[in-house]
Structure 1
Amino acid sequence: MGSHHRPTAGQCSLVKPPRLITCLLLLLLLLLSPPLTLPGSASSCVITHLPGFHGRLPFYLETGYIGVEEKTGTELFYYFVESERNPDTDPLVLWLVGGPRCSGFCGVVYEVGPLDFVLEAYNGSLPRLVYNRYSWTQMASIIFLDSPVGSGFSYARDPNGYDVGDISSSLQVVTFMKEWLNDHPRYCSHNFYVGGASYAGKVVPVITQYISEAIDEQRQRPWIDLKLQGYIVGNPITGSKFDKNFHVPYSHGVGIISDQLYEAAVTHCKGDFVNPTNQLCGNVLSTIDKLMSEVSDGNILENKCVKAAPKPTVDVSASRALLEEYNQLHKPPIRPSIDCLSYRYYLSYCWMNDNTTRDALKIKKGTIDEWLRCNKGVLPYAQDIPSSLNYHFNLTTRGYRALVMSGDHDLILPFLSTQAWIGSFNFFIANDWRAWHVDGQAAGFTIEYANNLTFATVKGGSHVVTTNKPKESFAMGKRWLANKPL
């Protein structure tokens, strides 16, 4: 696996300790609960076994914390899985999860990571895990990050630290990568990509651009040697007008609304299906909304199911004062039907909130009282980047590679929306619209632009295509990362 230093299995390492610390301060730090790592330092542990997984893990797993803000004591938690193929030459990928504030663990078990839950009725015992044969860690080393702070096991000692947004959390990710690479210098020379789906798709190009700028400025190592190649987004939110304005055309195209309703919307709304400017437009959009609510917006082919969100969404503007109360709540999510995708979310809640799991992952005691798959509704988050389109444009015109994948059965962010904003760039087409295949069958359709941007649909794909179409997504990712045609 290489010559770089690693902690031995089950052992935690503390790197870059604070300088000139007095004996008294060290003693105080040791007595504090939870144990603290000062920002700018990092702690990591090698995990060889996990509760619910039979035998030793067949891959290298490391978990840890990295401090990204000294003032608030903000530390981001990560899962690192080394490439199972050739970690010396395979690319390094930073994988983020949407929400915002969904845990990076979702990437490990639901998206591109090496684990999956056994789908079986929960009987009070610990849910079981199995190896995911379509894990992208077969072709890349991947960091799954709990970001922004408040996601998963990432935390801040000062409640003010949770008051972040698109810009500040993206900058914290850049700080995280600087510190992580300081502790893992072996990866500085690897091809590097940033990836994520849904809301993460909004900040992925932002983070990629910030890292690009840091490399260009060459302020300090290891950025000088980092080989940033590009980014990957799936059904990406952009914040632009394109996101929601294609719900109506898409719903018409797949038969959710009638010709008459669609024609009425076109006539009365004048092309704006988001902000009605007259009563006739408002009335027809209200009717359309009711019809769209009849289907599962993440995948129009699936049954509507309980979301398995442990907490109801709470509309609170000044929510810091509620943080302590929020963390004291213990209410398991409503158990959905086992045939629902969200049942796996229910299993993750039960698995993550078991003490044996916390101990195995080396979670700092007293930091996160209750793990939530998606921590929404209470912690403040500012969507302070109105649109990420400029970031996509800037990166691709500078030659960075971009893979934009889109499940064609997603109503949350229809592929028509993504197709429209890409088309607005007026890039020269290098390879026109065609099918791409897996096992001799069309897995979707794709187009390649001269600016190294590839757009591809996944046939039957949902809002997060790596979740419900893992085989097709695996084939796409493997080909694209190898710089081969889809």
Structure 2
Amino acid sequence: MEPRLLLPLLLLALGSGAILKQSESKEAWGYVQVRNNAHMFWWLYYANNPTKNFTELPLIMWLQGGPGASGCGFGNFEEIGPLNTKLKPRNTTWLQAASILFVDNPVGSGFSYANDSSAFAKDLATVASDMLVLLKEFFKSKAEFQTLPFYIFSESYGGKMTAGIALELHKAIHAGSIKCNFSGAALGDSWISPLDSVLSWGPYLYSTSLLDDKGLTEVTAAAKEVMDAVNKKDYALATQLWSKTEEIIEQNTDGVNFYNILTKQAPTLKEPEHEAIYLMRLYQRHVEHLHKDQLSDLMNGPIRKKLKIIPDSVKWGGQSETVFTNMAGDFMKPVIDIVDQLLVANVNVTIYNGQLDLIVDTMGQEAWVRKLKWPKLEQFSQQKWKALYVRPESTETAAFYKSYENLAFYWILRAGHMVPADQGEMALKMVRMVTQQKP
């Protein structure tokens, strides 16, 4: 791995042309071969704070969902990076509070790629193993980050991957194979317990007047089929039935947006020409929309030219469908037990969720938290949540949170699935709280 350390090129659009301008923040990026024929791309931004050097702030790794979505693309330009998709500065970039390491994972997401069809990950164990190879190489080459607090923040399926990666990283640090100061994992609208999400869809939509009695009955019946398949550990069937449940919800709600119930922007599904039609529909609904035209044009145009190391044969997001289909057998498996192991190992775990999210609604998150076997769960549950405001003079409640020892939960109001995109100021405040920074 030969990362580049450069002053970033801040592209400022001027009509049909553009000029390049240097900013103060530093960047580095590169590839790591994590297995034979498997290459993962990472992109690091050093913290850009007016009063603090990056050595005084933590390092955050951001993992996107899907599986198959690109953190270097979507998370970077749509949510928390320094620039938006129009290459304008973002007021709520997390670089104000931390250095950010974006990674395109699993292999095949974003600019990451596989040279052979057998190299795509098929389960969480492989995803975690690949990431540990990358992190070992990263911290070895970027020794300045070895002692800084290191957090993993995530979204959606990225939360499930984060849980698995965090546990293996914790073990590796104690075994002495990776040198880093791992300080916690944050699970945002995370696919930790797919079944608990599915079972809560009907009640959540009914309580928000998006289902009537008949619709609730239909959704509940479909969710029960998913539950039966999961209980039998037939996860491939559970994924298929999950897709069917989503279709029933769309039919009964006039196409509710699974990512924010107040916005009517459900993806337009093409009729797939694929033997596993339900998988293609799932991909179109939950991954393809993260590779929309404007972002795809940006990543395959100006960004590719800037990075200079992307192989000619690699198209940004070009293997994302393959990533998704290869992980289908693992998709509906819960990882509540992994979160339990993290808590028992005294790893700091933060859960945060958007109030308006449907796909991973807060009711479902609360349901799996109640299933934790962590000995201190009762004390956590007894805590009274506290209201949060974006700034001291604000009068509008932005979130609630509660914590006990190494578990914290944030309820982010007026946010959907992509919390930083919907409520950027509150998300940034949460980051500072999780990483123990003073306002």
TM-score range, shorter chain: 0.7 to 0.9
1:117 alignment counterpart: 85
Structure 2 residue 407 is the aligned partner of structure 1 residue 453: yes
Counterpart position of 1:466: 420
* Residue matched to 1:18: none
**Cα deviation per residue 1:52-95 (whole Å; 9 max; x = unaligned)?**
565213421222112212x32x2211110011132112111111
Look up the match of 1:428.
Answer: 379
- Residue 22 of structure 2: which of 56, 66, 76 is its match? 56
Matching residue's letter, 1:462: G
Q: Aligned partners of 2:105, 2:260: CA distance in 1, in Å?
A: 25
Q: Give the structure 2 partner of residue 480 of structure 1.
A: 434
Aligned runs of 1:266-277 on 2, under 5 Å?
Answer: 272=224, 274-275=226-227
- Counterpart position of 1:256: 210
Alignment of 1:24-63 (within 5 A): 41-52=1-12, 55-63=21-29
Aligned-partner Cα distance in 1 for 2:126–2:419: 28
Compared CA separation, residues 252 and 94, structure 1 to 2 (3 A):
same
Residue 352 of structure 2 aligns with an amino acid whose one-letter code is M
Q: CA deviation at 1:313?
A: 6.1
Which amino acid in 2 is paired with 1:300? Answer: I
* Residue 69 (structure 2) pairs with residue 102 (structure 1): yes
1:440 deviates by: 3.1
Which one is further off, 157-166 or 132-141?
A: 157-166
Counterpart residue identity of residue 384, structure 1: D
The answer for the alignment partner of 1:180 in structure 2 is 138
Aligned in 2, Cα 1:301/1:208: closer, same or farther, shift over 3 Å?
same
2:386 counterpart letter in structure 1: R
Q: Which has the larger radius of gyration?
A: 1
1:345, CA displacement in angstroms? 3.4
**Cα distance in structure 2, aligned partners of 1:296 and 1:395:** 33
Partner deviation per Cα, 1:161-204 (whole Å, 9 max, x = no partner):
22543221221011100001110011111111111101101110
CA displacement 1:123-174 (0-9 Å, x = unmatched): xxxxxx1111101111111100011111111123334222543221221011
Is the 8 Å Cα contact of residues 51 and 357 (structure 1) preserved in structure 2? no
Instruction: Tell me how far 1:481 sits from its aligned partner.
Output: 1.3
> 1:294 aligned to 2:255?
yes
Aligned partner of residue 64 in structure 1, secondary structure: strand
Paired letter, 1:76:
M
Contact 2:109 2:319 in 1 (8 A): yes
Cα deviation, 1:427-486, whole Å, max 9, x if unaligned, reads 4126312322223320122222x24211111111111111111111111112221267x9
1:384 aligns with 2:330: yes
| 1:362 equivalent among 281, 302, 308 | 308
Q: Are the aligned partners of 1:240 and 1:388 in contact in 2 as well (CA < 8 Å)?
A: no
Aligned residues: CA RMSD: 3.2
The answer on whether the counterparts of 1:345 and 1:373 sit within 8 Å (CA) in structure 2 is no
Match among 422, 433, 437 for residue 389 of structure 2: 437
2:99 matched to 1:141?
yes
Which residue pairs with 1:29 in the alignment?
Answer: none
Cα deviation, 1:262-317, whole Å, max 9, x if unaligned, reads 4x579x8599474589xxxxx9998655223531111111122546x9x9866467
Provide the identity percentage.
23
Where does the alignment leave 5 or more consecutive residues of structure 2 unmatched? Answer: 14-18, 230-243, 277-283
Q: In structure 2, how many angstroms separate the alpha carbons of the residues matched to 1:195 and 1:284?
A: 29
Cα distance in 1 between the residues matched to 2:385 and 2:225? 27
SS at match of 1:349: helix
Aligned equivalents of 1:238, 1:363: Cα separation in 2: 34
For residues 240 and 422 of structure 1, the distance between their equivalents in structure 2, rounded to whole angstroms, comes to: 13
| Aligned residue among 375, 388, 402 for 2:320 | 375
Partner Cα distance (1:77, 1:312) in 2: 32
- Aligned equivalents of 1:217, 1:414: Cα separation in 2: 37
The match for 1:198 is 156
52 and 471 in structure 1: CA distance in 2 versus 1, 3 angstrom threshold: same
TM-score after normalising by structure 2: 0.81
Match of 2:362 in 1: 415
SS at the partner of 2:84?
A: strand
Amino acid at match of 1:446: Y
Please give the secondary structure, in 2, of the residue aligned with 1:298.
coil
Deviation of 1:388 after TM superposition, in Å, equals: 1.3
For each residue in 1:194-247, what CA deviation from the matched residue of structure 2 results, as whole angstroms up to 9, or x when unmatched? 1110110111011000000101122x3x42xx2211111111012442121100
> What is the SS of the residue equivalent to 1:170?
helix
- Whichever structure has more helix as a proportion of its residues is 2
Query: Cα 1:413–1:351, aligned 2, differ >3 Å: closer, same or farther?
Result: same
The 8 Å contact of residues 42 and 179 in structure 1, kept in 2 or not, is answered as no
Maintained 8 Å contact 1:269/1:276? no
1:406 lines up with 2:353 in the alignment: yes
* CA 240–352 in structure 1, closer or farther in 2 if over 3 Å, else same: closer
Look up the equivalent residue of 2:307 and give its one-letter code.
L
Q: Are the equivalent residues in 1 in contact too, given 2:147–2:181 (CA < 8 A)?
A: yes
Match among 63, 69, 81 for residue 45 of structure 2: 81
